[in-house]
Amino acid sequence: MPKIHTKLNMENIKRIENLNFEDFRHQNGLTFWWASDLMKMLGYKEMNSFEKVIERTTKAMISLNIKHYENIKPVENPDTNKYDFKLSRFACYMTVMNAGSKHKEVAAAQAYFSLMTQKFEELIKSREDIDRLVIRDEIKEGNKSLNSIAKQSGLTNYANFANQGYLGLYNMFNWQLAKKRNIDKKKLFEHMGRAELSANLFRITMTEEKIKKDGIEGQIKLENTHYNVGRQVRNMVRENVGVNPENLPQNKRLQNVKKEIKQNIKAIDKIDKSKQR
């Protein structure tokens, strides 16, 4: 049972009733909600800050290979003559899941969605997995950027450079880590949890910033920089999580997560299709 159900006290039930989410539903060929309406229901005051949530939602959809442009459509709202977004029910759900937990209205909205159908409950359980998908894609882009900067700084052996980052963070090379976990070394990121993925993303981005800031050049110095940043991140993980990075628990492979989430999405899509009949 999702943790959200522990918060279904009378106060939150009242908030759910006051959300009137369905009252804001529009029908124009397809069912949609205005982002500006959802924004207010979630306790946000300005579209500028809410757009960051929508951007995160878009990234999640891209990670899931979902046509985000069919679920999130930037248009002018004819009622306000302001820039807005048309959101599908699934886009609303994903936006709620990516919204800041500091807003009390967000918890109520999550509870509202979870009461709608069991499929929303299953997606709530997948919230961390959705974060994993987004961070994994950010790591791919981060590695491309890091390698580009390193190349400009004299990098010639990418494999050695990458492995120095692993050695700093894990006290072992990538192939050794893969052997320890009984995973193909090309699939290491696919099984990492959110915290471990975040640690690797931090290692990558901080190494790039260090190279640019200090003007580091040459294969050996680049390798040493990657190792040193990895070692610093290792110490942070050990201090904050209590275990060494190589001993962090592994999760379900992201490829399988994508399949499960997509199955739930199909079931959610049927909600509005059944309402149109």
Instruction: Average the pLDDT over 138-145 and give the result.
Output: 96
> Does residue 150 surpass a pLDDT of 90?
yes
Distance, in Å, from the CA atom of 73 to the CA atom of 85, rounded to the nearest integer, reads 5
CB 119 within 8 A of CB 267: yes
What is the per-residue pLDDT across 4-20, written as a single tens digit (0 to 9) for each? 333 434 444 344 445 56
Sheet holding 82-87, edge to edge: 26-28, 30-34, 82-87, 72-77
Domains of the chain by residue range: 3-125, 129-254
Note the pLDDT tens digit of each residue in 75-131: 998 888 899 999 988 888 888 887 876 767 887 777 777 666 555 666 656 678 888
Pairwise CA distance, residues 113 & 189, whole Å:
30
Q: Which positions ≥6 away from 32 have C-beta within 8 Å? A: 25, 26, 73, 86, 87, 88
Query: Nearest Cα to 229, choosing from 164, 155, 176?
Result: 164
Half-sphere exposure of 118 (CA within 13 A, CB side): 2
CB-count exposure of residue 2 (10 Å: 0-12, 13-18, 19+): middle
How many Cα atoms occupy the beta-carbon half-sphere of 247 within 13 Å? 7
pLDDT band at 189 (very low <50, low <70, confident <90, very high): very high
Q: Across residues 37-57, what is the average pLDDT?
A: 89
